[in-house]
Structure 1
């Protein structure tokens, strides 16, 4: 936001009078200043000299000259007003505003005085005081463009956006080249998602002021929003070349590099933002901390976020940064506490609410009913107001026609979800189904290109608002729309809440309910959701398939090697899951296993971060396990991740938040996984995967049984070796490893659900 600076009162003899009368100055208010010269001083000449000094930026000299005028006439309103402007511009805002107010007591109808006072109120955040002052200025002179522009700013900050836009437009109508009004209007239109008009408006500013760094910066943000990150990078880089001391420029450039998957450039600009030799606001520190948290740089995230919160304990970004950091390092209760604060600070932010639900999903401190109620509260807050958009679907009710299927995800790239949806997209019957993919990300890689080749229609949609994506899906006439995210990152649940398709299904991305009444079904299986166990905690109807997923890599995996422990290697357990899933309770149980299996060790993945290493080493040490028994591996490529299993004998599943992709990959590599099942869907993922490959005896129902399974196979290497050598075949023989058959089952289910919907529409049709 660039505030309109206080303008200089016009005081030349032949200029319009600043009081707004429409008369020339010499025929109006000049008479108020014309006195008999004192000590042979021509008061008017001295006033004009003072104004020229002010306009040249010689503020101290101008102040001296204006004070000489007041020695002659203490009630000289213009001199007092100018002294107020000088104090204000020199940083003495309180005394400056006091003088501006005093000048108005002498000349209360002066439109210029009123507008300048309103602008000063704006700059000092006193927007409610500015509004009546500026409206009075406009009443005195309806064609005063600066007053309209200043009023626009006051209204904007007061949340009266439509009125603010009208004021800016009026200022521009009066003065088409009013750069401040154009800039502020462009930024406001941007904030209201009116992107096209915002771009046109801001481009006019650049025509007027080619070196306007803030304007170029916002054009960069708009380019990113419109799906052109490369142009955004060019524009923001240009803004930095014009004003390199703006940390917000570097920070936003870092965010764009992060979205493009360029961590080195991301960190470079974060460091540049932090290194600028200016006092950093809490906001900047908090945003840097939040971005470090998203990058997995948790030590830096903690440092910046804590410093930010010492400056402002109610800083949203600070609590989000600490929430994400604590979540990622396994401190779930601390993460939940920070996110609960964040939801109070931003109660209408659906993304933050979704993140909190995702954290609560894995917490043992909340029971199943309370968790379900939290999801229903999300629906009451965000879905209920959108139900007015629900309309009778106009899709053809022919039950045997070709169906349009839409998949919505931010993970159509090298992401675990892609491993599960890839074989479905590849095997869809194009004779019976037209496939649309709505991709809610900008990342492009080999996986996204492959998935794009399987889709009949590929729709990048990150830059689309919820209303725009809703309209696009309706134009596409989608029959069945599938959400692959649930309450995970970059979900589009608020689009589903608008009910753009007749049938809506959630699947794969989130092991639980969305809470939305607009979501008709959730795909699952008998292992994840045994009949009667979780149905009552879902807003959706559960559809139990033979398995909840199929799976397919986009490359040939490494070979399954002989059991490492039979080759003389120390018996190796592992947990290669994300550390956000590893609770202190898990570590306590795994420490017990290590104590009862002499010489064994345990491998962890994704452990390059110092905060993660310290937590593992210190927590295991508290249970008497030396760091020498821990193998800490860094984040690696998917292929190298699979190859790690050639050194692993048995994998240990975290609980209550079980692994999903990690467990599937372990079984593919011949490594069985000990899992502890619970009553919640998210704590039964391991049971589903191990059941699908015929190893239900590896599913424990108590911590003691979990330990017993580990000890049993530690002592029976021959049995463990037989399982290892058979697991990949078991995997391929199951529905998990037969994507063609599984896709046929999915398509048959789609057809059944569609036939049911069509019959319902026929029953609802009025009799003729």
Structure 2
């Protein structure tokens, strides 16, 4: 347990979540306040938080407990140095070297102290020792070269820079060598090295700037020319205000011919070219803006313009390049930090984006509300609930009506289990766009009482969000092919739960009778996308199509049966179904309730679902309403956790939005009936202290020892996620919103799932899956039965072991995992729908 906690604390520290890391460190230290590894980590966290004195005290304690730990002495030396205690620092560094003679970083630390004291000769000698014991120590090479330059030993410095460049041919190291050559008066060598550097780093701004300076020499603008240009730019500004674009362009062109190097002209003319002209002059505008950057490094407007332009063109690499270069020369511009962070976000570097945005907030001056909002989104994306919540609240303190922050804050609350607060937040919004309303629908479905109101909200959806669409009553003609043409519409033809349930259908469709059209509304493309595409007769990427364009495309394709696989989930295309582009319209799988859309004819369920009546006609598929296929075949079933640990562990891998106080109360009853058992909860946000304490408080109120509740956050890979099944014996289903993928996955991993039968479809998924898997004994008719079944099973170790050995094979052999039979039944249903339509017309 301690090792797991320490690893979690280290992971948080590596994410710069130092305070959270120290909370875990403090928990471990309660059991053992002399654990050096934990004390050491806590000290490093404190140092990063600016608490240098406290960090030093802890490291001193570590050095006394374990005086042979060279890393402790190294970090203690650094702390002493930060405090200005140079003699103590040097002594600690030397102690570290005694314990680990190849610690070049300790030599480097001593050299820094010697240089600060003005003893450059000793510092140089010490750095030479550092690169002797570690010939790959780049930091020591760099410091040595700089010291040699300061000591006017240019030839020796050049040799070190050359060695450094051989070890690490970065653009910065090229720059260092070039400047060393220039200081020594070797301009030809500098130019040659610059050309070499540009061959390796053709986009590097610093190298291109040096090249420009070497080729053109210094550029100057006379005071007279400066005044003339500024007056003319005022004239141009007035022309632009009057929308006299062409006259402004002519004056820009004339002024540029006369003054090709004026910084303000280069920027304003370049900006004009980007905004007001064609592709050819856009290229010219970029060139002169780039020239401004090369000639005038500290002139910020061109950096901002170029960074924002490239970001708008989805050229995130170039946006990052110009934003970073601008920040080098001025760290007080929050908008440069903002565009840099946004570009990093777009290329998936979320942690880097967070660091940059945080720095942008510290520069002072006006902070745009978007920075708070985007930081909230970034922290949300990496699963840091408390930080995300804090920044959404900061954005709302600036503008309480800022829609995006309020919506995303409501979404965050829903996803993290604060469903009541989420619903309240959505209700406070003066209006809800379609995404907001559908987020509200999900929150209502997860609520133990308010889920009963869901049909009323669904009924309102068409008028609120598709009232402008007129359902066409045109007479549909049979397509010229003899095959029935099926159109599946989804944003989830990718690595997604939908893939588990559609893969078998796509693989087993009868292509003699059916023609499959896939309408993909997603952005991500992976191996599963390729598989769906290869098994489709026609594949349509529809993400960029308007509702009207998609409607026309479906009509041109002459689809007979159009099937919505999303319902009210993300990136659905339900408004198109309101337009009725196909004679038969069906909703299936992605949403376990009615769509509320009168133009959708059918909803596919099974006889076990017994849902509340929706607006669509309900069609019961034989046996189970879904067909599960595992996406990873090479992973073995879970081991018997009870036999390994000596006690039973219940599990919940459900989203926090499905976990509410009533459910916690029921789970507490199970834990009280099985005194030696534990509950492992694993999902997104469960590594956040605030979320954990919220849940723990509820269990503690029910008399449960908090040590019996184990939390795990989001797994970084499918393998890591599936390995968590090795740590549980029984999965506890959620209610009223049952698990679907988690239930199937759990059974496939050999872990039985105990469920309770509800009154609507999403509350009876567990009934359907367990019944069709031959496990009716794991279904409770009410909460009391649910508690009894789970607790009785936990006491029956022989039965648990039997499930563990046989459950995967039993599940895979069941009707839930029979794609051939399922697809035949589905196609029979499609034929009946089709023939009914033909005969009714």
TM over 0.5: yes
Among candidates 509, 512, 515, match of residue 434 of structure 1: 515
| Contact 2:736/2:758, CA 8 A, preserved across alignment | yes
SS of residue matched to 1:385: coil
For 1:519 and 1:330, locate their aligned partners in 2 and report how far apart those are by CA, in whole Å: 32
| Equivalent residue runs for 1:292-441 within 5 Å | 292-342=379-429, 344=430, 346-347=431-432, 349-366=433-450, 368=452, 370-387=453-470, 390=472, 392=474, 394-396=476-478, 401-441=482-522
Q: 1:215 to 1:56 in 2, by over 3 A?
A: closer
Instruction: Decide which of 720, 726, 737 is 1:640's aligned counterpart.
Output: 720
By how many angstroms is 1:651 displaced? 0.9
Compared CA separation, residues 233 and 482, structure 1 to 2 (3 A): farther
Name the CA shift for 1:418/1:214 in 2 (closer, same or farther; >3 Å).
farther
Q: 1:488 to 1:147 in 2, by over 3 A?
A: same
CA distance in 2, matches of 1:411, 1:459: 13
SS at match of 2:518: strand
Offset at residue 602 of structure 1 (A): 0.7
Aligned residue runs from structure 1 range 53-132, under 5 A? none
Q: Report the 3-state secondary structure (helix = DSSP H, G, I; strand = E; otherwise coil) of the residue aligned with 2:412.
A: helix
How far off is 1:201 after superposition? Answer: 10
Task: Output one character per residue of 1:536-557: Cα deviation in whole Å (capped at 9) or x when no partner.
Answer: xx22222211212111123215
Q: 1:282 to 1:655 in 2, by over 3 A?
A: same
Pairwise CA distance, 1:301:
0.5
Give CA-to-partner distance per residue, 1:641-692, whole Å, 9 cap, x none.
Answer: 3332233211111111211111111111221111122222222222221122
1-structure distance, mates of 2:700, 2:793? 25
Distance verdict in 2 for CA 1:234–1:436, change over 3 Å? farther
- Distance between the aligned counterparts of 1:655 and 1:499, measured in 2? 35
The question of 1:449 aligning with 2:530 is answered yes
Structure with greater helix percent = 2
Task: Provide the rounded CA distance (Å) in 2 between the counterparts of 1:716 and 1:290.
Answer: 46
**Residues 312 and 561 (structure 1 numbering): CA distance in 2 closer, same or farther, change over 3 Å?**
closer
The answer (yes or no) to whether the contact 1:287–1:317 under 8 Å persists in 2 is no
CA deviation after TM superposition for structure 1 residue 431, in Å:
2.8
Please report how far the alpha carbon of residue 442 of structure 1 lies from its aligned counterpart in structure 2 after TM superposition.
2.5
Structure 2: distance between partners of 1:707 and 1:317: 41
Task: Determine helix, strand or coil for the equivalent of 1:751.
Answer: helix
Change in Cα spacing, 1:258 to 1:492, as seen in structure 2 (3 Å) is farther
Match runs of 1:534-573 below 5 Å = 534-535=612-613, 538-546=614-622, 547-556=624-633, 558-560=635-637, 563-566=640-643, 569-573=646-650
Question: Match of 1:29?
Answer: none
In the TM superposition, what is the alpha-carbon distance from 1:498 to its structure 2 partner?
3.2
Deviations 1:605-635 (A, max 9, x none): 1233333323333332232222221222232
Structural mapping, 1:489-504, within 5 Å: 489-504=570-585
C-alpha distance in 2 between matches for 1:553 and 1:493 = 28
The question of whether the paired residues in 2 share the 8 Å contact of 1:675 and 1:706 is answered with: yes
Alignment of 1:544-693 (within 5 A): 544-546=620-622, 547-556=624-633, 558-560=635-637, 563-566=640-643, 569-606=646-683, 607-636=686-715, 637-693=717-773
- Deviation, 1:423, is 1.6
Inter-CA distance 718–475: structure 2 relative to 1 (3 Å threshold): same
- Output the CA distance in 2 between the equivalents of 1:182 and 1:353: 43
The within-5 A match list for 1:156-235 is 171-172=244-245, 206=286, 220=310, 223-224=313-314, 232-235=315-318
Residues in 2 aligned to 1:678 and 1:302: alpha-carbon distance in whole angstroms: 33
Q: Return the alpha-carbon distance in structure 1 between the equivalents of residues 427 and 279 of structure 2.
A: 37
The corresponding residue for 2:72 is none
Q: Does 1:734 align with 2:814?
A: yes
Could you list the runs of 5+ residues in structure 2 that have no partner in the other structure? 1-223, 253-266, 293-301
Deviation of 1:206 (Å): 4.8
Partner of 2:517, secondary structure, is strand
Relative to structure 1, is the Cα distance of residues 413 and 609 closer, same or farther in structure 2, using a 3 angstrom cutoff?
A: farther
Question: C-alpha separation between the residues in 2 aligned to 1:358 and 1:220?
Answer: 37
Give the drift of 1:408. Answer: 2.4
Secondary structure at the counterpart of residue 628 of structure 2:
coil
- Whole-angstrom CA distance in 1 between matches of 2:229 and 2:248: 24
Tell me the alpha carbon deviations over residues 32-72 of structure 1, each in whole angstroms, 9 at most, x when there is no partner.
xxxxxxxxxxxxxxxxxxx99987779xxxxxxxxxxxxxx
- CA spacing shift, 1:654–1:432, aligned 2, 3 Å: same
Equivalent residue in structure 2 for 1:719, among 799, 802, 815: 799
Aligned residues of 2:592 and 2:761 also touching (Cα < 8 A): yes
Q: For 1:450 and 1:174, how far apart are their aligned partners in 2?
A: 56
Distance in structure 1 (CA, Å) of the matches to 2:607 and 2:598:
23
* Length-normalised TM-score, structure 2: 0.63
**Aligned equivalents of 1:431, 1:508: Cα separation in 2:** 25
Residue 285 of structure 1, CA deviation: 0.8
Aligned counterparts of 1:199 and 1:479: Cα–Cα separation in 2:
44
2:578 and 2:281 map into 1 onto residues whose CA distance is 33
Distance (Å, rounded) in 2 between the aligned partners of 1:523 and 1:722: 34
5+ residue gaps, structure 1, are 1-50, 59-84, 86-111, 117-144, 150-170, 189-196, 225-231, 764-768
Contact 1:259 1:443 in 2 (8 A): no
Counterpart of 2:835 in structure 1 is: 755
For the structure 1 residues 714 and 387, does the alpha-carbon distance in structure 2 shift closer, same or farther, using more than 3 Å as the test? Answer: same
**Alpha carbons of structure 1 residues 568 and 335: separation in structure 2 relative to 1, 3 Å:** closer
Q: Is the Cα–Cα contact under 8 Å of residues 597 and 714 in structure 1 kept in the other structure?
A: yes
- Please tell me whether the aligned partners of residues 410 and 426 of structure 2 are also in contact (alpha carbons under 8 angstroms): yes
Whether 1:744 and 2:824 are equivalent positions in the alignment is: yes
CA RMSD of aligned residues (A): 3.7
What is aligned with 1:164? Answer: none
